[in-house]
Structure 1
Amino acid sequence: MWQAIDEHGQWQGEVWNQKENGSLYAIKLNISAVYDARQEISHYIGIMSDITQQKLDLASITKSAHIDSLTGLPNRLLFTDRLLQAVAQADRNKTFLAVCFLDLDHFKKINDVHGHQSGDAVLKEFAIRLDTAIRTGDTAARLGGDEFILLLLGLKNSAECATILKRITHMACQPIPLPANAIFPTASIGVAIYPTDATIPNNLVALADTAMYHAKALGGNHTIYHHTKIA
């Protein structure tokens, strides 16, 4: 900022400042140098406006565009962005990643018997458990309805993927208490591995989705890989 003022006589930009009570606020600031008769800087004039609410509104809009409103998990848009980044990371590190499509079994029955409010409660609790069970750097997202998707990074082999999924589903599928009684959720899971199953991210998601439907066809509560195992 001061370099720009020294070189050009003015600076304009946005800064975060701190109030006496410690709270932060954002300002749009314009600083201009004022010169005397000898063309030396005599003082500065600063004009500022508080843009804190604009920043908060923008953050809220950005969050709503990327976060599922019911569960607080990343939505499809944010998941896709993270998948693209993960593919580039896997290429750099010569590792594998897994896309895991999860669909809650018999969820329609939960809505029909217990009501949509209870169904939403089940989805929110299941989401919390997924997000708690994944490793740092992995992603759990909700695509809509009772469909969730996981992005597991830095895998060395299929056995590692299976171990991680077993731990995740064990934590996520514990009984969920409802006012009337408890729900015992299970999930059908389809898994696709990058780069052995597909090298295009959208294809990877599609293969995991197809594998999940095969798991559904077996009666649910199964995990199906499409089907290249990594050594």
Structure 2
Amino acid sequence: MAELLSFSHFMPHGNCYLWLPSVLWLHVVSDGLIVLSYYSIPFAILALVRRRTDLQFDWMLRLFGLFIFLCGTTHLLAIWTTWVPDYWLSGLVKAVTALASMATAALIWPLLPKLVAIPSARQLLAINQELAEILEKHRATECELRTLSLAMAHSSSMVIITDIQGVIEYCNPAFCQGTGYEERELLGHKVSILGSGFTDPAIYQDLWRTLSEGRSWQGELLDRKKNGDLYWSMLYIAPVKDGDGAITHYVAVSHDISELKNSEETIRRLAFYDPLTELPNRALFKERLEQALLRARRDNRMFALLYIDLDRFKHINDSLGHIVGDKLLIEVGQRLKRQLRGTDTVARLGGDEFAVILGDLADPGMAAEIGHALCVAVDSPYSIDGHALSVSASIGISLYPEDHIDIEELIRMADNALYRAKDAGRNQFAYYSKAPDPVRLEWPTPETGRTQAHTNRMAASAPAQMGGRS
């Protein structure tokens, strides 16, 4: 055993190592340590590849591990061939190692740009920080969207979202409740499902033209519910655009303003109609009178203005009370209205005073005929709450353009003619006259009818008898 451990007389094959045992052991120990190190590296690489299956270049790592393993083998054979002359085996291993090293060197250079592109730890940290910020923004956006979704779901406003073709993609519960449709009945259908057929097509044309230009639109539409009821909708529509500015959707927010519309109509009726008789009041009468004047000027036609005052009404109102008096006024208004054409206007000016506008007259005699008919209608007996009542009407008539072309003057003249009729004995009509003395007109009885009305017209046209009507 001592002889085996003693190298003083040993001569290595192929390497003399200066014939020094210390040099021999230096090489043997060094190669042994290299072998141990080289053999441990491939196993570490193999463990890494097995655990990290997501690595992009694992084949390169396997090739590199093989190269290291072969390098370790060459060092192992270097120790072996120190005592055993297996030089062919050592040469073959070196040849294989050379091929592996050449393959590794040939493949690593093309792969180098890709390896360089792999982010460093600092870059990964920066990317992670950026991703964290993006994720936080997404979370904030998601929270905002959730809040908006809840707001729309619980909003009292009716909200729908459509594509650019008007196909409904979303509707909130308020919209379903307001229109009577279920969500499944609306999704996938065009908004025209709500159309009533009464909205002016020009409004729809303006709506789509405005939206196609990328602008918001606001207006009122008359729509129809599922049960067929009509309702007024105050609508606001805004286009939704993508990052390139292209319109992708439309968001429509609407409110049912039917009650407001009804209130507006009520206010309008209170402003322009007499609440008792439901006839036009003085304000609407003046407006209609101005319109009649404009039409008469445009068409070169005649119209007549009649002022009417009830005879003996004050006595009935004072003796029987306002309730009976009001019912009597309502009945008088209806009788006056039934004697007129659809284009004529009868208005209550206040108290027991009424006014009539007769448009598009061919001659003054037409005003006489209608005045006669109004007197006959008012003079007929009344039965109000068990009371047999009788009133008559005095009527004053002014003509455009014969008497004047100014509205205020025509009103003054009609009022003047009314008092002339009252002074002449009531229960009759009178034209306006410049004569200083009132002119009494023969009252046509119901029995004489149209014959007497014709006589009155003839009398009214005789200046010598009736005071200047020509």
TM-score class, shorter-chain normalisation, is over 0.9
Q: What secondary structure, in the 3-state scheme, does the structure 1 residue paired with 2:213 have?
A: helix
Residue in structure 2 matching 1:164, options 364, 367, 370 = 370
d(CA) in 1 for partners of 2:412 and 2:317? 27
**Which residue in 1 is equivalent to 2:317?**
111
- CA drift at 1:30: 1.4
* Contact 1:211–1:226 (CA under 8 A) maintained in structure 2: yes
Matches within 5 A, 1:106-185: 106-185=312-391
Look up the equivalent residue of 1:207 and give its one-letter code. Answer: M
**Which residue matches 1:214?**
420
Judge conservation of contact 2:309–2:394 (CA < 8 Å) in 1. Answer: yes
For 2:389, give the aligned amino acid: I
Match of 2:407 among 198, 201, 204: 201
Q: Which amino acid aligns with 2:357?
A: L
Given candidates 211, 219, 227, the residue that maps to 1:21 is: 227
2:430 partner letter: I
The root-mean-square deviation of aligned C-alpha atoms, in Å, is 1.6
What residue number does 1:81 align with? Answer: 287
The number of residue pairs the alignment matches comes to 231
Quote how far apart the aligned CAs of 1:219 are: 2.5
Task: Say if 2:214 and 2:247, in contact at 8 Å, map to a contact too.
Answer: no
Q: State the one-letter code of the partner of 2:411.
A: V
The structure with more helix, counted as a fraction of residues = 2
Choose between structure 1 and 2: higher strand proportion.
1
2:375·2:428 contact (CA, 8 Å) conserved in 1? no
Deviation of the 1:80 alpha carbon: 0.4
CA displacement, residues 10-36 of structure 1 (integer Å, 9 cap, x when unaligned): 212221211112222122211111122
Q: CA–CA distance in 2 between the matches of 1:26 and 1:180?
A: 45
Which residue pairs with 1:189 in the alignment?
Answer: 395
State the 1:168 CA deviation: 2.6
Separation (CA, whole Å) in 2 of partners of 1:36 and 1:116? 70
Q: Percent identity?
A: 39
Among 216, 224, 230, the alignment partner of 2:430 is: 224
* Aligned partner letter, 2:255: S
Answer whether contact 1:29 1:49 (CA < 8 A) is retained.
yes
Q: CA deviation at 1:127?
A: 0.2
Indicate the SS of the match to 1:143. strand
Deviation at 1:113, TM superposition (A): 2.2
Matched position secondary structure for 2:277: coil
Alpha-carbon distance in structure 2 between the residues aligned to 1:212 and 1:9: 60
- Check the 8 A contact 2:301/2:361 in 1, yes or no: yes
* Structure ID, larger Rg: 2
Cα distance, 1:173 vs structure 2: 2.6
Structure 1's unaligned 5+ residue stretches are none
C-alpha separation in 2, matches of 1:9 and 1:146: 55
Query: Alignment partner of 1:88: what SS?
Result: helix
Matched position secondary structure for 1:86: helix
CA contact (8 A) 1:190 1:226 kept: yes
Distance in 2 (alpha carbons) for counterparts of 1:126 and 1:190: 17
Deviations, residues 205-228 of structure 1 (Å, cap 9, x unaligned): 111111111111222112111138
